């Protein structure tokens, strides 16, 4: 996990001090920093503006069809940011969806507005899920006490409710912020230069690979500073009630007929933008394909290539996560805690910077790995190790150690106990972790772009390349396939949500 990052630092250190100062003081570097900051802030603001009202309507009101709204608010996770960007691009132009269907042309969305909209429509469910859980756990007696003391509804929200929602907001903002910082597909299609897009341009065009290494280190520093900032804000904060007595039972606000209509109008706008738009645009371009059956062999070939790396990556991530989880849960120590935290490095580091580190590592430290499919699988496994580790670790916490102790007392060795007792007990967690890694790897773009062997064209690369070349009709089947497989992830989230 760490060795390639060391090679990235070594590659960046090849520049002399004057060159480093020049890199940091270039107007373009400052512009990249400003663009990245603006994109993160705008995306968080727009995503929160969609997620917060939805979470309140589902958790605190008697809005009719709340269960349906809950499902509709999670489904946009099936539309990755670069597919959402494809849908927005497909709306515009003389041959776009709006002109061909409704008879008027809209200008192409690009730059900061286009990237913000594409990323917000994809990421707001992450904030929604955190807020909905926070609303469900918030003791309503605190709000009632504030109202009894004369506070207005506005004051209750900003002085009582919102402060208690901050942990959930910060958790959602952290996930979304890290994703936006490392995103490549949406910003590249929207032609908005941020650090990730600039890193790819510098490396792929071979302009200045030392500058690309420094840009990658800057991107890592930004991501780590976001993680540090979020943890600092949570330090010393207490949100549990400390008074005597029991909390009040959960009560739903009764919405009058007009409020019901306005609530569903808001839901309809969000759903149409996040789900209806990509489905409509994809259907529009798919219908115009002259020879859809003729596309199927190429589509199947791209799917097979995606599958050939996603399945081994899921197995590798689970195999690496198992010993880490066992160490962290069954043998707690400073060393096991350090190893457990180290497992999250690949997920916290922006994907493009992480992939670039492995490019430099394979070129100078392990030449036999360069341009191999095994390297891509290995990087997928390391990058998504945290996704596999979470469910496995949770399953181990719930498994009874006394059963393992009984097996050891009956004469079984450690490996036998693990294979015959522990592993069958935690199998659901292992399967859940593998499913998460598999579905994410099937649609992953930036790592594949830098590390895919020559001629290797999975679904994500094929769809992105054809969209960036303006071949929207030819890209439609691949975008549709990505949405279908991403729906597996959404189904997993909804199934887990139903159990909890």
pLDDT of the residue at 163: 79
pLDDT of the residue at 208: 61
Is the domain of 226 the same as that of 106?
Answer: yes
Q: Count the domains in the chain.
A: 2
SS3 253: strand
Is the domain of 258 the same as that of 306?
Answer: no
Instruction: Report CA 294 to chain centroid distance, whole Å.
Output: 33
Report the C-alpha gap between 109 and 104 in whole angstroms.
15
Is the domain of 167 the same as that of 55?
Answer: yes
What is the DSSP annotation of 17-78? HHHHHHHHH-HHHHHHHHHHHHHHHHHHHHHHHHHHHHHHHHHHB--TTHHHHHHHHHGGGG
Is the domain of 311 the same as that of 283?
Answer: no
pTM: 0.83
Is the domain of 269 the same as that of 313?
Answer: no
- What is the residue range of 14's domain? 1-236+254-288
Side-chain-side CA neighbours of 429 within 13 Å: the count stands at 22
27: left (phi over 0), alpha (psi -120 to 50) or beta: alpha
In a domain, 195, yes or no: yes
CATH no. for residue 155?
1.10.3720.10
pLDDT of the residue at 274: 93
pLDDT of the residue at 151: 78
Element (H, E) at 488: helix 472-499
Q: CA-based diameter of the chain, in Å?
A: 78
pLDDT of the residue at 115: 94
In a domain, 247, yes or no: no
DSSP 255: P
Is the domain of 294 the same as that of 265?
Answer: no
Is the domain of 350 the same as that of 213?
Answer: no
pLDDT of the residue at 118: 94
In order along its 500 residues, the chain shows pLDDT tens digits of 888 888 888 878 887 777 778 777 888 888 988 999 999 999 999 999 999 999 989 988 888 888 899 889 988 988 888 999 999 988 887 777 888 888 778 888 889 999 999 999 999 998 998 888 788 777 667 777 777 777 777 777 777 777 778 878 888 888 898 889 888 889 989 989 888 888 877 776 655 677 778 888 888 888 878 777 766 665 555 555 555 555 555 677 788 889 899 999 999 999 999 999 999 998 888 888 777 677 888 999 999 999 999 999 999 999 999 999 888 888 888 888 888 888 888 887 888 888 888 888 888 888 898 889 999 999 999 999 988 888 888 788 777 777 777 877 778 777 777 777 777 888 888 888 888 889 889 888 889 988 989 889 999 999 988 888 888 888 889 998 888 888 877 777 677 666 55
Is residue 197 within 8 Å of 183, Cβ to Cβ? no
In a domain, 230, yes or no: yes
Is the domain of 385 the same as that of 446?
Answer: yes
In sequence order, the 6+-apart residues with CB closer than 8 A to the CB of 388 are 314, 317, 318, 320, 321, 433, 434, 436, 437
Is the domain of 263 the same as that of 377?
Answer: no
Q: In terms of Cα–Cα distance, which of 455, 463, 499 is closest to 480?
A: 463
In a domain, 241, yes or no: no
Is the domain of 207 the same as that of 333?
Answer: no
pLDDT of the residue at 219: 83
b/e code 38-74 from CB counts within 10 Å (16+ = b): ebbebbbebbbebbbbbbbbbbbbebeeeeebbebbb
In a domain, 248, yes or no: no
Is the domain of 347 the same as that of 441?
Answer: yes
In a domain, 72, yes or no: yes
Is the domain of 273 the same as that of 300?
Answer: no
């Amino acid at each position: 996990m760490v060795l390639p990052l060391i090679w990235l630092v070594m590659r960046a250190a090849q520049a002399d001090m004057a060159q480093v100062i020049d890199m940091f003081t270039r107007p373009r570097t400052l512009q990249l920093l400003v663009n990245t900051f603006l994109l993160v802030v705008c995306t968080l603001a727009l995503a929160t503006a969609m997620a917060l009202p939805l979470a309140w309507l589902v958790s605190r009101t008697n809005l009719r069809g709340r269960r349906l709204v809950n499902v509709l608010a999670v489904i946009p996770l099936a539309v990755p940011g670069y597919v959402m960007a494809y849908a927005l691009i497909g709306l515009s132009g003389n041959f776009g969806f709006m002109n061909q269907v409704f008879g008027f042309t809209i200008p192409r969305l690009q730059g900061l507005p286009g990237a913000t909209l594409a990323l917000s429509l994809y990421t707001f469910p992450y904030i929604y899920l955190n807020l909905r859980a926070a609303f469900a756990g918030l003791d309503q007696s605190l709000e009632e006490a504030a109202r009894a003391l004369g506070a207005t509804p506005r004051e209750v929200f900003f002085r009582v409710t919102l402060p208690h929602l901050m942990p959930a907001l910060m958790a959602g903002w952290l996930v979304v912020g890290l994703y936006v910082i490392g995103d490549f597909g949406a910003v590249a299609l929207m032609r908005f230069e941020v650090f990730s897009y600039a890193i790819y341009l510098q490396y792929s065009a071979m302009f200045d690979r030392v500058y690309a290494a420094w840009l990658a280190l800057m991107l890592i520093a930004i991501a780590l500073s976001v993680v540090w900032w979020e943890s600092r804000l949570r330090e010393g904060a207490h949100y549990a009630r400390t008074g005597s007595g029991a909390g009040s039972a959960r009560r739903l606000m009764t919405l009058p007929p007009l409020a019901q209509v306005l609530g569903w109008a808001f839901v309809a706008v969000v759903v149409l933008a996040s789900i209806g738009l990509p489905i409509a645009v994809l259907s529009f371009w798919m219908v115009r394909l002259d020879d859809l059956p003729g596309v199927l062999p190429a589509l199947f070939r791209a799917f097979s290539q995606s599958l050939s790396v996603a399945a081994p990556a899921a197995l590798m991530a689970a195999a690496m996560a198992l010993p880490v989880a066992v160490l962290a849960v069954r043998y707690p120590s400073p060393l096991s805690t350090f190893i457990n935290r180290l497992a999250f490095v690949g997920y916290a580091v922006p994907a493009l910077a992480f992939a670039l580190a492995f490019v430099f590592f394979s070129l100078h430290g392990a030449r036999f790995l360069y341009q191999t499919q095994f390297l891509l699988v290995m990087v997928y496994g390391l990058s998504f190790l945290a996704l596999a580790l979470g469910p496995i670790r949770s399953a181990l916490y719930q498994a009874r150690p006394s059963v393992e102790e009984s097996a050891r007392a009956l004469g079984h060795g450690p490996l036998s106990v693990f294979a015959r007792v522990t592993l069958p007990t935690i199998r659901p967690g292992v399967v859940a972790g593998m499913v998460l890694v598999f579905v994410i790897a099937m649609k992953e773009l930036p790592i594949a772009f830098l590390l895919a062997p020559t001629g290797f064209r999975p679904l994500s690369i094929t769809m992105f390349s054809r969209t960036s070349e303006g071949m929207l009709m030819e890209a439609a089947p691949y975008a549709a396939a990505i949405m279908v497989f991403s729906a597996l992830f959404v189904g997993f989230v909804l199934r887990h949500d139903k159990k909890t």
